[in-house]
Structure 1
Amino acid sequence: MSATAGMSDKARTGIAGLDDVLSGGLVRDRLYLLEGSPGTGKTTIALQFLRDGAALGEKTLYITLSETEEELRETATSHGWELDPSITVFELIPPESLLDANQQQSLLYSSDLELGETTRQIFDAVDRVAPSRIVLDSLSEIRLLAGSSLRYRRQILALKHYFARHAITVLMLDDLTADNLDKTVHSVAHGVVRLEELAPDYGAQRRRMRVIKYRGQNFRGGFHDFNIATGGVLVFPRLVSLEHKTGFARERLFSGIPQLDALLGGGIEKGSSALILGPAGTGKSLFAVQYVLAAIARGERAVMYVFDEELGLLFERTRELGYDLKGLCDAGKLLIEQVDAAELSPGEFAHKVRALVDEHAVKTVVIDSLNGYQAAMPQENALVLHVHELLQYLNRQGATTFLTVAQHGLVGDMKAPVDVTYLADTVILLRYFEAFGRVRRAISVVKKRAGAHEDTIREYSIGARGLAIGDPLDGFQGVLRGIPTFVGAERDLARSGHGTGHEDGA
């Protein structure tokens, strides 16, 4: 079944990302369960569901057993909403006689009376309003009134059949405060969506959702990140790269530095990914900027996601090297976004990248760096999977991606915090090495899937005019270890350019 099949028979939730996960929304005239701990966003999603129905001219009903009407309207106001008159809020409160100890019947449990009266009030409200959509908040109250699993199941089945006879799409909320192990509604409901909230050791809480069940329908499985922001819930469906295949002409892209292009065997292929690997200060960001400038010179737009460096410092530092990134941003040719890994979930980040590529035809993407991206991930394995899907998606859109990774250490044996070298199509390795009492820099290409590349090691410098790359270092051995041995002649020493002027880190 295709993702778009039957969309006319579905009620949208009012949340584009959730409708995407549900392959168009909720099949009408069925009962659904939305469950999650308090604070996970159930009420906000429920209100968006009813507001979408109201926008279509449908009558809707919010039956609340746990929150007052005033609290619901305050929630709506906090998102900048004014509840439409077609949204009826019914605040279900047990009759005072059932709360008066002097009038309680001793031969019956008070819960028997309360459950029956509660059900009658629900039916009366439905008959009075005749809604197309209903939210019932929350099942925990009904579960407590029922007392036993048998009575609770019978009560839910009675509600389900009543709503089905009246052709109503029902969203039941459960805050999981009564019995987390009770799966009664799971078996009765047509679909079940669970909301979760995670509290990392540092940073803002992370929210994610999962469709546990959707009877007879395709849906996007797995966990999907979501946020609660002013204006409602935003869901970021898990990226599946295989769903986004496009055709484009593969061609070689040049950096603007002939020596770098020669080292790469003529350039980097369009629609591929390049990993720039090296210790701090070797100029990883600057190499990525070089490709950004080359893309803009070709008339393309580029985007940089900066995790580790403050944008003001980046603009100032690159301006001293002759690159006016701020001016390119002001002209709309370059998009730069500062990313706070402590506040941004991986799903939201992938959504941002996808939106720019789809809506603004961006063809060069820089992620600087994966060290910062990793900070947004709970586990390294999850990071690798996220990066894999993101790179595959960008490659299929004809976008060229540049990733930077800062290795631990400066010289000698160094390790990266996460190994994604097998994911990248090209791996560029930057190194420090010591020669004749000076710290120098070397660049080499250790992997390139599409075509041949030089197996040489070249020295490079960073000065007032930006990057300068020299000839191959034929006269040195052990450069990648950081402490090389000079085995060449004096002419090799002169050709390597070790006597160049002042250098700046990048």
Structure 2
Amino acid sequence: MTDSSSAKAKTGVEGLDDILSGGLSRGHVFLLEGAPGSGKTTIALQFLLEGASIGERCLYITLSETEEELRDSALSHGKDIGDQVEIFELVPPESLLDADQQQSLLYSSDLELGETTKLIFEAFERVRPHRVVIDSLSEIRLLAQSSLRYRRQILAMKHFFSRSDATVLLLDDMTSEAMDKTVHSVVHGVIHLEQLAPDYGSERRRLRVLKYRGQAFRGGCHDFIIKTGGVAVFPRLRAVEHRSGFERSSLASGISAFDALLGGGIARGSSTLLIGPAGTGKSLFALQFVEAAIRRGERAAIFIFDEELGLLFSRTKEMGLDLEDLRDKGLIHIEQLDAAELSPGEFAQRVRDRVTSFDAKTVVIDSINGYQAAMPEENALILHMHELLQYLNRQGANTFITVAQHGLVGDMKSPVDVTYLADTVILLRYFEAEGRVRRAISVIKKRTGQHEDTIREYMIGSNGLTLGEPLSGFQGILRGVPVLVGDRQSLLQTLDEDGANS
């Protein structure tokens, strides 16, 4: 029983059908183009095997690769073509290879092009397939020798296939010197693959639908990877398409002084940015909310770009937070990411999967500095972060992102300004007092309610985080070298008491 009656032929490529609004329209000819190594053959095999899985007859006509190479390619992804797909390896007729049989009155290209087309049509008539792949058009373009003959040949093939209601995928490796766009105007749709080579790290691949007649599709560039099992595409995230209902309640961190600074806590479905120089404890403040979420019976997802997981487990365990045990119990998902090997689209998809399948209500991204390394440009980072944060907010998840500023005290700069994207911004600072380096925290922005406008000192000790009373006797703390404006003795006594409580 086949599914040929449905309007769309699913591609079998994870994420691609979503971009194509369900798949390829049946009975039409499509072009899949890209440089060698971009993944065309893998997608084509997935397309045919998807059809074979629902009982459709499938034909792969190859002018460039041998049947053995195609079968080996499929096996490398754990797929055995077997007799599911008919492979027709088109080779020149023996008469064209025999010098004694060469014609002197006709160009050999005339014979070869006509013979090649004839063999393609004969193979089609013999199999009568529902799905066809022709690999590749570059061979036909070379035989045609002129743009006019090439266009006529493609039109002839299109009309021939249209009479049989077959869905045809033409592959083009774009190796011709002149970038002929003839096929673009003839086919029903065009999918373009490209492969980027960053200065460091593995190659990045992305996909774009250039054309799809009579059909809305998800425009723009979409990251994809080639993994064992085939191609996986990560559709570009659009937060406006995802909305869920939830109650906007206030969530506490579990540290009374910290909650007071935040005006009672943070709102559910909001994003919080923790910004400050290295070593100020940004990750610890974020993990404080993870611990609070676990106590509420919720799950959390933590994505680490910068720190080695073993070291993180060790130092948090000393403070009474056993992340490794929580992970083993299935209460948190924690993942260390390599920015050099990860595209922005793949990262967004991983976060979405944790929210939908793992039901994570607290998400920590540590840090934006590492995330930025996965971006080709800063502008792309801002757009990706905007969509990701909006998506998480609409799912009722609380997001905590950290940014390490350049410098330690005084005039510090951030690698990228994302403060306007976050609903709450928490600023961490070093300051010097009486020959000691101390830490200060303040909330400089909160969209979802009131908060203290004070600056509090905080300590990091064996018991975790401890916040002191507001520092009202200093001026210039955020610059790093404050000036004493209050009573010296009482202020120093307050600082000492805070230090002793830690």
For normalisation by structure 2, the TM-score amounts to 0.98
Give the superposition deviation at 1:92.
0.1
Check the 8 A contact 1:263/1:444 in 2, yes or no. Answer: yes
Check the 8 A contact 2:378/2:416 in 1, yes or no. Answer: yes
RMSD: 1.3
1:451 to 1:499, Cα distance in 2 relative to 1, 3 A: closer
Q: Secondary structure at the match of 1:293?
A: helix
Check the 8 A contact 1:425/1:448 in 2, yes or no. Answer: yes
Q: Secondary structure at the match of 2:451?
A: coil
Residue among 285, 305, 308 paired with 2:306:
308
Give the superposition deviation at 1:359.
1.2
Alignment pair present for 1:491 and 2:490? yes
1:133-144 correspondence runs (5 A): 133-144=131-142
Structure 1, unaligned runs of 5 or more: 1-5
Q: Which residue of 2 aligns with 1:419?
A: 417
Q: Secondary structure at the match of 2:201?
A: coil
Q: Which residue of 2 aligns with 1:131?
A: 129
Cα deviation 1:380-409 (Å, max 9, x = unaligned): 000000000000000000000000000000
Q: Which residue of 2 aligns with 1:169?
A: 167
Check the 8 A contact 2:14/2:231 in 1, yes or no. Answer: no
Cα deviation 1:250-288 (Å, max 9, x = unaligned): 000000000000001110000000000000000000000
Cα deviation 1:113-133 (Å, max 9, x = unaligned): 000000000011001111000
1:499 to 1:458, Cα distance in 2 relative to 1, 3 A: closer
Give the superposition deviation at 1:166.
1.1
1:15-414 correspondence runs (5 A): 15-414=13-412
Q: In 2, Cα distance between the equivalents of 1:345 and 1:440? A: 38
Check the 8 A contact 1:7/1:25 in 2, yes or no. Answer: no
Give the superposition deviation at 1:487.
1.3
Residue among 431, 434, 440 paired with 1:433:
431
Q: Secondary structure at the match of 1:496?
A: helix
Q: In 1, Cα distance between the equivalents of 2:314 and 2:401? A: 22
Cα deviation 1:299-354 (Å, max 9, x = unaligned): 00001000000000000011111111111111111110001101110000000100
Q: Residue type matched to 1:312 in 2?
A: G
Q: Residue type matched to 1:108 in 2?
A: L
1:444-459 correspondence runs (5 A): 444-459=442-457
Cα deviation 1:19-47 (Å, max 9, x = unaligned): 00000000000000000000000000000
Q: Residue type matched to 1:252 in 2?
A: S
More off after superposition, 493-502 vs 71-80: 493-502
Q: Secondary structure at the match of 2:321?
A: coil
Give the superposition deviation at 1:500.
2.2
Check the 8 A contact 1:433/1:440 in 2, yes or no. Answer: yes
Q: Which residue of 2 aligns with 1:3?
A: none
Cα deviation 1:197-221 (Å, max 9, x = unaligned): 0000000000000000000001000
Q: Secondary structure at the match of 2:460?
A: strand
Q: In 1, Cα distance between the equivalents of 2:147 and 2:234? A: 36
Q: Residue type matched to 1:494 in 2?
A: Q
Q: Secondary structure at the match of 1:444?
A: strand
Q: In 2, Cα distance between the equivalents of 1:113 and 1:163? A: 22
Q: In 2, Cα distance between the equivalents of 1:471 and 1:263? A: 10
Q: In 2, Cα distance between the equivalents of 1:192 and 1:356? A: 33
Check the 8 A contact 1:35/1:176 in 2, yes or no. Answer: yes
Check the 8 A contact 1:425/1:449 in 2, yes or no. Answer: yes
Check the 8 A contact 1:192/1:211 in 2, yes or no. Answer: yes
Q: In 1, Cα distance between the equivalents of 2:260 and 2:253? A: 10
User: How many residue pairs align between the two structures?
Assistant: 498
Q: In 2, Cα distance between the equivalents of 1:431 and 1:70? A: 63
Give the superposition deviation at 1:8.
3.0
Q: In 2, Cα distance between the equivalents of 1:213 and 1:183? A: 12
Q: Secondary structure at the match of 2:360?
A: coil
Cα deviation 1:63-99 (Å, max 9, x = unaligned): 0000000000000110010114131000000112112
Check the 8 A contact 1:254/1:267 in 2, yes or no. Answer: yes
Give the superposition deviation at 1:486.
1.2
Give the superposition deviation at 1:101.
2.5
Give the superposition deviation at 1:454.
0.5
Q: In 1, Cα distance between the equivalents of 2:5 and 2:232? A: 21
1:198 to 1:423, Cα distance in 2 relative to 1, 3 A: same
Give the superposition deviation at 1:179.
4.0
Q: Secondary structure at the match of 2:357?
A: helix
Q: Residue type matched to 1:341 in 2?
A: A
Q: In 1, Cα distance between the equivalents of 2:435 and 2:184? A: 71
Check the 8 A contact 2:468/2:498 in 1, yes or no. Answer: no
Q: In 2, Cα distance between the equivalents of 1:16 and 1:236? A: 8
Q: Residue type matched to 1:244 in 2?
A: H
Q: Which residue of 1 aligns with 2:499?
A: 500
Q: In 2, Cα distance between the equivalents of 1:485 and 1:153? A: 79
Q: Secondary structure at the match of 1:63?
A: strand
Give the superposition deviation at 1:56.
0.7
Q: In 2, Cα distance between the equivalents of 1:227 and 1:388? A: 23
Identity, in percent, stands at 70
